[in-house]
Amino acid sequence: MRIVRRGMAPTRDDSTRSALTIAQQQLDDTARAMGLPDSTRRFLRELKRELVVHFPVEMDDGSFRVFTGFRVQHNIARGPAKGGLRYHPRVTLDDVRALAMYMTWKSAVVDLPFGGAKGGVICDPKALSLTELERMTRRFTTEISIIIGPDRDIPAPDLGTGPDVMAWIMDTLSMHAGYSVAASVTGKPTAIGGSEGRYGATGRGLVIVTQLAMRDHGMDATGATVAVQGFGKVGAVTAELLAAAGMKVVAVSDSSGGVHRDTGLDVSALRALKDEGGRLADYGAADRISNDELLTLDVDVLVPAALEAQISGSLAQRMRARLIAEGANAPIDPEADAVLAEQGTVVVPDILANAGGIIVSYFEWVQDLQAYFWAAGEVNARLKEVMVRSYEHVRARAQELDVTMRSAAYQIAVERVAAASEVRGIYP
């Protein structure tokens, strides 16, 4: 048989600041501000467990390719690990490490009984046929099945994955168990135990906290201008819901670039274009712009909903948005964060702003465990309740300590995880 090596595990380059280094710096800064004991800080900044697997997959032409995948768990003091699974040609182990840590803080800031995890496979899902994607997913699931499950680590969709991938993971784990294990993943189709309202949950939660932040900073939502970087599963839903709330979406972008029109864009037409496989650059009723140009537009609200590390310190100096709601994980690096704080830009941090997905994933997990399912209206109402409560808690802490919302959110999250770790103690 012919074997082609694909996606060796990337090595860490200490000459540049890695994603994990940045995530650990954020924890260090938070621990210092809180006066956290150094032993606790050192424990929380490390990953609990990481699994790297190299596995062969038969392709449609009869050849075999070897793929590399990861599953990383950061902390499980508050409950089973929870986090997405990313299929992307440039995903690295270091990215997954950092994202697992962010998932710990995200679960804690909205007070869910989960720890943090993340996974990924180095691949381009668009270059694989449906059958190749399924075979790869099932083999990867088998490789990491030793550490995932409904009471250990529950995967969910992320970049390059969706309900179909979750269905294959759930079915593979169920075949191993000999019975259906619906609670083993979230974000799956409703036909096999998925929750109503899960697909748009991240965007819906983002809109809820964006509107609350606008209210608190005297911004009128009616006619407010919005730019969205990343017109994918999160960005597209966010744009639609913000437009429905009376705001004017003037710019959006995807990997092909962006489009901009001062009078506003037809978000429904753009969504239809994307659903048909088109690129935003093909949209003829607006001016083309680059992603950097979109990020520096003079708008009321900016939603970076693409990948990590999109906004550097130098770019932040040129940004003019009044409020930024982070739809992606860690789109703003620490240097840029400091610049934006100095400029007075309001930033609703990722671990709060985009927590809607994990909140409804928690609802799905609970429904699966109980075998009792809720209507979409109940899911959305419960989501709003958790988002509002979490936002108000973060906002109150920020005002009390006179710190940014990111600092307040991190302090709340770290405080909760540290407390759980201390109460549980060290075994043996």
Q: Can you tell me the distance from the alpha carbon of 69 to that of 255, in angstroms, rounded to the nearest whole number?
A: 23
Q: Can you tell me the distance from the alpha carbon of 51 to that of 117, in angstroms, rounded to the nearest whole number?
A: 11
pLDDT for 14 = 38
- Indicate whether 26 belongs to any domain: no
Q: Can you tell me the distance from the alpha carbon of 313 to that of 8, in angstroms, rounded to the nearest whole number?
A: 31
Look at phi and psi of residue 79 and say left if phi exceeds 0, alpha if psi is from -120 to 50, else beta.
Answer: left
- Indicate whether 224 belongs to any domain: yes
The CATH number for 109's domain is 3.40.50.10860
- Indicate whether 289 belongs to any domain: yes
The dihedral through the CA atoms of 383, 386, 390, 395 has a sign that is positive
Give yes or no for a cis peptide into 428 (omega within 30° of 0): yes
pLDDT for 256 = 80
Taking CA 151 as the corner, what is the angle to CA 113 and CA 374, rounded to the nearest 5 degrees? 65
- Residue 318: strand, helix, or coil: coil
Q: Which of 122, 156, 183 is the last residue of a domain?
A: 183
- Indicate whether 418 belongs to any domain: no
- Indicate whether 87 belongs to any domain: yes
Is residue 407 a contact partner of residue 395, using CB atoms and an 8 Å limit?
A: no
Beta pairing, strands 115-122 & 81-88 = parallel
Cα–Cα distances in angstroms (integers) from residue 129 to residues 125, 136, 159, 169, 251, in the given order: 8, 10, 17, 17, 32
The CATH number for 291's domain is 3.40.50.720
| Residue 140 token pair | 């990867």
- Indicate whether 359 belongs to any domain: no
Regarding whether 236 and 173 lie in a shared domain, the answer is no
- Indicate whether 14 belongs to any domain: no
List, for residues 406-425, the tens digit of each pLDDT value: 999 999 999 999 999 999 99
Tell me which residue of 67, 181, 168, 177 sits closest to 127, measured CA to CA.
67
pLDDT for 11 = 39
Model pTM above 0.85: yes
Low-confidence stretches of the chain (pLDDT < 50) are 1-15
The parent domain of residue 41 ranges over 3-7+35-183
Number of domains in the chain: 2
Regarding whether 206 and 174 lie in a shared domain, the answer is no
Regarding whether 207 and 157 lie in a shared domain, the answer is no
Which positions are annotated as active-site residues? 118
- Indicate whether 106 belongs to any domain: yes
Regarding whether 283 and 156 lie in a shared domain, the answer is no
Regarding whether 329 and 270 lie in a shared domain, the answer is yes
Q: Can you tell me the distance from the alpha carbon of 44 to that of 417, in angstroms, rounded to the nearest whole number?
A: 8
In sequence order, what are the residues at sequence separation of 6 or more whose Cβ sits closer than 8 angstroms to the Cβ of residue 81? 73, 74, 100, 103, 114, 115, 116, 117, 152, 153, 154
